[in-house]
Amino acid sequence: MSTEIHLIKFTKKGIYCPQGKFYLDPWYPVDYAIISHGHADHARWGMKRYLCMDDSKAILQHRLGAGITIESMPYGKELTINEVKVSFHPAGHVIGSAQIRLEHKGYVVVFTGDYKTQPDFLTTPFESIKCNTFITESTFGLPIYNWKSEEDLQRELQSWVTTNQQNYRTSVFLGYSLGKAQRLMSLLNGCDDIYVHRSIHNLNNAISESGIKLPETKLWSADLDKKTLQNKIIIAPPAILGSRMLKRLPNPATAICSGWMQIRGNRRWQAVDAGFAVSDHADWNGLIDAVKSSEAEQVYVTHGSQAVFSKYLDEIGIKADELVTEYGDEVLAKAEAETDKVTAE
């Protein structure tokens, strides 16, 4: 069963634009897919043709295969597809992430994908776009989620590293290979030598080949001796937890880096030494600001706390409805674990 409004149609395969004959981040194979960013719950294998933002192209080729049929274009450039004007605009989520703007006969729809309104040291900052219909995520759509500034977060992470070094411990930060890993690299840059898991190393190489400058890192491999890694910094995917490779480290101190770590109970739930609220998604105030600045007449709220957030928007006079999709943290976590597990040992 599908639901259709002006310019977009919600179907079993994903969000479809009938006038343009393309899908936005579809979760099943289609002929033409416009992709917001390279995370596995938004960029899936099996599409006949892909279109993405320039900085995402190498990421998609690395993750989905060099042989995919893919085109890309920069932020702000407009492409007309079957009378629908399409453009990408910064989402501030991860490298290459984009909001997708559609325009047809003066009506504008903005699909945000995933986004973060708070600037960081690496990604192109979020850009507010005026539209008629705004499709927003709500991963952290609860008032309890309010992120620290990037400068405060940097001081917190680097202070933890210093404390670990004073206790002769190796600092291990756990986060997704795309987005979180590069963000951690920027936050820890200059603190000490940074070693990264092979899955992150390979992705960094793909990103760098497309002309994006990343902080300097070294490959963390099983043949490195303990003395080399003593007191250093390691960034690895969460899939490494419990692996032999992690157990071989000299006195490791592990930290999960996720927005969920803002809730103290989540720190106790994870078998780690620390938890840092490092998120690549908008917090509560960021979500509200993005919706308000869009001036949209209709808002659709997807994955996360969509019931709470859409209800709040209705209460403040913004027409909002929930939209069920296959995007979200659980889907992403499973897909990222599958991507990284082959090299977790």
Which CATH number applies to 3-144+280-343?
Answer: 3.60.15.10
Question: Is the pLDDT at 34 greater than 50, yes or no?
Answer: yes
User: One-letter amino acid identity for 216?
Assistant: E
Q: In whole numbers, what is the pLDDT of the chain averaged over residues?
A: 91
**Going along the chain, which residue ranges are E strands?**
3-4, 9-11, 14-17, 22-24, 32-34, 49-53, 70-73, 78-81, 84-90, 98-104, 107-111, 133-138, 170-174, 194-196, 218-219, 233-236, 252-257, 274-276, 298-304, 320-322
User: Which tens digit of pLDDT belongs to each residue from 233-279?
Assistant: 999 999 888 888 888 888 899 999 999 888 765 555 567 889 999 99
The CATH topology of domain 150-276 is Rossmann fold (3.40.50)
pLDDT of residue 343: 45
The span from the CA of 221 to the CA of 196, in Å, is 9
8 Å CB contact between 7 and 17: yes
Region(s) of the chain under CATH 3.40.50.10890: 150-276
pLDDT at residue 334 is higher than 70: no
Pairing type for strands 78-81 and 252-257 reads unpaired
CATH 3.60.15.10, the chain: domain bounds: 3-144+280-343
Q: Does residue 25 register a pLDDT over 50?
A: yes
pTM over 0.85: yes
CA distances from 177 to 68, 156, 222, 314, 335 (A): 21, 21, 18, 36, 11
